Amino acid sequence: MSETPLRQRRGTLSRTADRQAPKGQQTKAAIVEAALGLATQIGLEGLSIGALAEVMQMSKSGVFAHFGSREELQISVVREYHTRFEDEVFYPAMSAARGLPRVRALFDNWMKRTSVEIDSGCIYISGAVEFDDRPGPVRDALASSVTTWQDAFKRAIEIAVEEGHFAPDTDASQVAFEIHGLILALHYEARFLRSPGCINRALKGFDAILERNGARPTPARKT
């Protein structure tokens, strides 16, 4: 059964529920929305109750009352970012056939989101830089979100092996690692070095990984 229509329906119901939720919940959701926008530009560490209060035209105490601490605010942003990542990347791919078609759909959706985040920034990547050596709840929330995604992608590859779409001896962990590496390299090349053609190189890299593991080449894409 396809999960995409169900997820879309859930999204519609969620937006309706947001409009019908008590005012306090609506305000909190609006603050998280604003905080997410700021975090993509200045990072999670750049978030402050004062900055959000100014953006929201609220008092600092009013913003603080919805979260209790800056740390709780940061974790709320991480969770919201993860929810949106799932909505845009994971769930739409569930309508693709099991195996290689789903792996390709997951990567294509990931690339679409990455293409946008080349301009806006990725909290998973910026957060890893900010919190890689800082133990605590925010790092735990970030790491948990990334691990959840990596596990889902790895499982899609394992299913592709089971379906006979990859060579029987394919190492799913290695394939997932290499594909994740393509996304990280794309962010670095595009956002930091401003290298032309890096999106096409990432696409070619993905096809090379598939072919090396016994999969058929991806049909030519429009770029």
Mean pLDDT for the chain overall? 88
Mean pLDDT of 50-79: 92
Question: What pLDDT digit, counting tens, does each position of 114-162 carry?
Answer: 999 998 889 999 999 999 999 999 999 999 999 999 999 999 999 999 9
Q: Which residues contact 111 (CB under 8 A, 6 or more apart)?
A: 183, 199, 202, 203
DSSP secondary structure letter of residue 48: -
| Domain definitions of the chain by residue range | 78-213
Please count the other Cβ atoms lying within 10 Å of the Cβ belonging to residue 41.
10
Integer Cα distance of 110 and 202 in angstroms: 11
Instruction: Give the global pTM.
Output: 0.84
Mean pLDDT of 190-212: 95
Compute the C-alpha angle 31/75/84, nearest 5°. 70
Mean pLDDT of 98-127: 95
Grade residue 1 by pLDDT with cuts at 50, 70 and 90: very low
Q: Is the distance from CB of 39 to CB of 49 less than 8 angstroms?
A: no
Question: What pLDDT digit, counting tens, does each position of 175-185 carry?
Answer: 999 999 999 99
Secondary structure element (H or E) that encloses residue 142, with its range: helix 137-162
User: Per the structure block, which two tokens stand in for 5?
Assistant: 């229509």
Grade residue 19 by pLDDT with cuts at 50, 70 and 90: low
Q: How many CA atoms lie within 13 A of 166 on its CB side?
A: 26
- Is the domain spanning 78-213 CATH 1.10.357.10? The answer is yes
